[in-house]
């Protein structure tokens, strides 16, 4: 029986471990924290329950595949439910739009401020589907590190079709005129930690995922996915060891032979790293050629999170909500050029108690509030004063949109900064997604899933192919496991 070590019990590592254990591997996961989940973490504050981390779930079939690939039924482990209301987008105190799978309803709402944009909405969705179909065919179904894959005529042909040098902002200009419509879809670049004015138009496919396939909730919170993966893995024989901070990856010739946790050595036939690849190369393989190359890469944005338990909620809030500033461009100039938090940031609020009232006090709400922030640098220090300033900006902007008396309704609160993210998850410079996708090379050529020198060293997670987001990191684990089974 082959031994496999997985560093990190995030969704990517758990996904790979499940598939490999079912194939007969002896799998051990070493997790530095006291619980699994990586960037996804449950938080309870009094009667309020939160998920710290990703909250928008798309591509439900990817999660189903993890269970089906090992002969299990997803419904025996997880209870997904559709969020038919979609996402409520607030553009001004008087204008909001619910973006959902109801194409006619969305088109009608757009027409209230732009007949031109409403008339082009269907064509835009068709383009988003075209981009998704190509992505599914070429990028979501295979690893990209083999040279035969990179040079395949089919991939090259499809790569030309997605117009890699055209930005998301430029594509939206082809279909829409009104800033409200553009903002709603420009935001998809932030799903991969990037700027819509620099990242490729491929990310318009998100409109198909949310506007056609729909978004989902998970009964008990998004962390229920982690719990389900842990349960399934343990049923298949996966051993998870917590509070195991890996201090060294030991190598011999062209292979890794195991890892060290302090004075303890774990040997293995194959090692999978479910951690930020940029951090791993800088920390454990500083003399690797990739380490030097990765230092020059632009990293993604980070985020500032404010968890708020309020004793009285707002009727206007849905499960997912986005509050846009008047000037959207200033957000990305501040984050990527000035390495600062914008004065009027875009504010995302997830209130899962809309769908699951038991996650908050009766009549109250559990607000997961997120604003985009720059990666860590010496230009912005995250201390108590900074946190107070971020809270002030958020309250001021939400009051402008009509969410008055927020501070008076607060019963519980918790703050999570880019510095906290780096310390807990070893995210490189506190960036959520590793490299940004603000260029063609970084959007399509991420850190390879298999190291080019050490052939039994693999990577899963948001910093590698196929990218960030809960379905993508889960898919990366499946693809890596399949490649290991095939090769070994």
User: 76-86, pLDDT tens digit by residue?
Assistant: 999 999 999 99
Q: Kindly state whether residues 328 and 446 are assigned to the same domain.
A: no
Q: To the nearest whole number, what is the mean pLDDT of the chain?
A: 96
Question: Residue 112 pLDDT > 90, yes or no?
Answer: yes
Q: Kindly state whether residues 100 and 203 are assigned to the same domain.
A: yes
439 inside domain: yes
Q: Kindly state whether residues 326 and 241 are assigned to the same domain.
A: no
Q: Kindly state whether residues 94 and 205 are assigned to the same domain.
A: yes
Q: Kindly state whether residues 359 and 391 are assigned to the same domain.
A: yes
How would you list the strands of the sheet with 255-261, edge to edge?
248-252, 255-261, 264-267
Q: Kindly state whether residues 104 and 202 are assigned to the same domain.
A: yes
Q: Kindly state whether residues 133 and 20 are assigned to the same domain.
A: no
Alpha-carbon distances of 30 from 36, 264, 292, 303, 458, rounded to whole Å: 10, 12, 27, 26, 15
| Dihedral class, residue 284 (left if φ above 0, else alpha if ψ from -120 to 50, else beta) | alpha
CA distance 305 to 312: 20
Q: Kindly state whether residues 111 and 176 are assigned to the same domain.
A: yes
Question: Residue 296 pLDDT > 90, yes or no?
Answer: no
Query: What pLDDT does residue 179 have?
Result: 98
Cis peptide, bond prior to residue 47, ω within 30 of zero: no
Q: Kindly state whether residues 270 and 317 are assigned to the same domain.
A: no
The answer to whether 361 and 411 are in contact (CB under 8 A) is yes
Q: Kindly state whether residues 309 and 402 are assigned to the same domain.
A: yes
Residues 183-224 have pLDDT tens digits of 999 999 999 999 999 999 999 999 999 999 999 999 999 999
Question: Residue 486 pLDDT > 90, yes or no?
Answer: yes
Question: In this structure, is the dihedral angle defined by the CA atoms of residues 428, 433, 437 and 438, taken in order, positive or negative?
Answer: negative
Residues 7-47 have pLDDT tens digits of 999 999 999 999 999 999 999 999 999 999 999 999 999 99
3-state class (DSSP) for residue 436: coil
% of the chain at pLDDT higher than 70: 100
Residues 214-253 have pLDDT tens digits of 999 999 999 999 999 999 999 999 999 999 999 999 999 9
- Kindly report the pTM of this predicted structure: 0.96
% of the chain at pLDDT higher than 90: 93
Q: Kindly state whether residues 131 and 200 are assigned to the same domain.
A: yes
| Domain tally, the chain | 3
451 inside domain: yes
Report which of 248, 226, 192, 211 is spatially closest to residue 472, judged by C-alpha positions: 192
23 inside domain: yes
Question: Residue 1 pLDDT > 80, yes or no?
Answer: no
Query: What pLDDT does residue 488 have?
Result: 81
Residue 389 pLDDT class (50, 70, 90 cuts) = very high
Query: What pLDDT does residue 55 have?
Result: 87
CA distance 301 to 381: 15
Query: What pLDDT does residue 360 have?
Result: 98
Question: Residue 62 pLDDT > 90, yes or no?
Answer: yes
311-329 as b/e: b if 16+ CB within 10 A: bebbeebbbbbbbbbeebe
Mean pLDDT, residues 317-339:
97
Winning range, highest mean pLDDT, from 53-62, 123-132, 465-474: 123-132
71 inside domain: no
Query: What pLDDT does residue 151 have?
Result: 83
Mean pLDDT, residues 469-485:
96
| Dihedral class, residue 246 (left if φ above 0, else alpha if ψ from -120 to 50, else beta) | beta
68 inside domain: no
Q: Kindly state whether residues 292 and 361 are assigned to the same domain.
A: no
Which residue do the tokens 């009285």 mark?
A: 312
Question: Residue 145 pLDDT > 90, yes or no?
Answer: no
Mean pLDDT, residues 398-413:
97
Query: What pLDDT does residue 445 have?
Result: 87
Greater pLDDT, 286 or 338: 338
Residues 358-376 have pLDDT tens digits of 999 999 999 999 999 999 9
Domain membership of residue 324 as a residue range: 301-374+383-416
């Amino acid at each position: 029986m082959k031994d496999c070590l997985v560093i990190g019990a995030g969704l990517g590592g758990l996904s790979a471990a499940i598939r490999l254990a079912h194939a007969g591997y002896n799998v051990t996961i070493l997790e530095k924290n006291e619980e699994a989940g990586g960037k996804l973490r449950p938080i309870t504050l009094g009667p309020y329950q939160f998920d710290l981390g990703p909250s928008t779930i798309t591509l439900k079939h990817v999660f189903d595949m993890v269970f089906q690939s090992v002969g299990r039924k997803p419904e025996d482990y997880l209870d997904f439910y559709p969020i038919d209301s979609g996402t409520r987008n607030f553009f001004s105190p008087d204008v909001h739009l619910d973006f959902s799978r109801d194409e006619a309803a969305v088109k009608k709402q757009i027409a209230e401020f732009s007949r031109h944009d409403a008339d082009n909405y269907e064509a835009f969705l068709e383009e988003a589907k075209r981009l998704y179909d190509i992505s599914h065919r070429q990028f979501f179904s295979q690893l990209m590190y083999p040279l035969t894959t990179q040079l395949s005529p089919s991939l090259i042909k499809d790569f030309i079709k997605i117009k890699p040098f055209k930005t998301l902002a430029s594509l939206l200009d082809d279909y829409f005129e009104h800033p409200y419509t553009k903002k709603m879809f420009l935001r998809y670049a932030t799903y991969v930690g990037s700027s819509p004015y620099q990242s490729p138009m491929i990310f318009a496919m998100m409109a198909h995922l949310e506007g056609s396939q729909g978004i989902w909730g998970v009964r008990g919170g998004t962390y229920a996915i982690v719990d389900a993966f842990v349960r399934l893995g343990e049923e298949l024989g996966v051993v998870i060891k917590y509070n195991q901070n890996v201090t060294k990856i030991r190598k011999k010739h062209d292979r890794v032979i195991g890892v060290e946790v302090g004075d303890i050595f774990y040997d293995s036939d194959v090692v999978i790293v479910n951690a930020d690849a940029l951090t791993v190369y800088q920390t454990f393989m500083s003399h690797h050629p990739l380490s030097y190359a990765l230092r020059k890469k632009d990293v993604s944005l980070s985020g500032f999170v404010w968890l708020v338990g309020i004793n009285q909620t707002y009727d206007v809030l849905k499960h997912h909500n986005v509050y846009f500033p008047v000037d959207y461009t200033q957000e990305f100039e501040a984050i990527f050029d000035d390495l600062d938090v914008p004065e009027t940031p875009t504010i995302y609020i997830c209130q899962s108690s809309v769908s699951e009232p038991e996650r908050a006090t009766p009549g109250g709400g559990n607000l997961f509030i997120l604003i985009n922030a720059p990666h860590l640098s010496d230009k912005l220090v995250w201390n108590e004063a900074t946190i107070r300033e971020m809270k002030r900006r958020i309250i001021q902007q939400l009051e402008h949109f009509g969410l008055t008396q927020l501070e008076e309704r607060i019963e519980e609160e918790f703050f999570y900064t880019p510095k906290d993210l780096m310390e807990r998850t070893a995210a490189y410079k506190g960036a959520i997604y590793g490299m940004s996708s603000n260029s063609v090379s970084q959007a399509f050529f991420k850190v390879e899933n298999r190291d080019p020198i050490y052939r039994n060293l693999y990577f899963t997670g948001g910093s590698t192919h196929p990218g960030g987001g809960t379905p993508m990191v889960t898919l990366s684990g499946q693809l890596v496991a399949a490649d290991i089974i095939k090769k070994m």
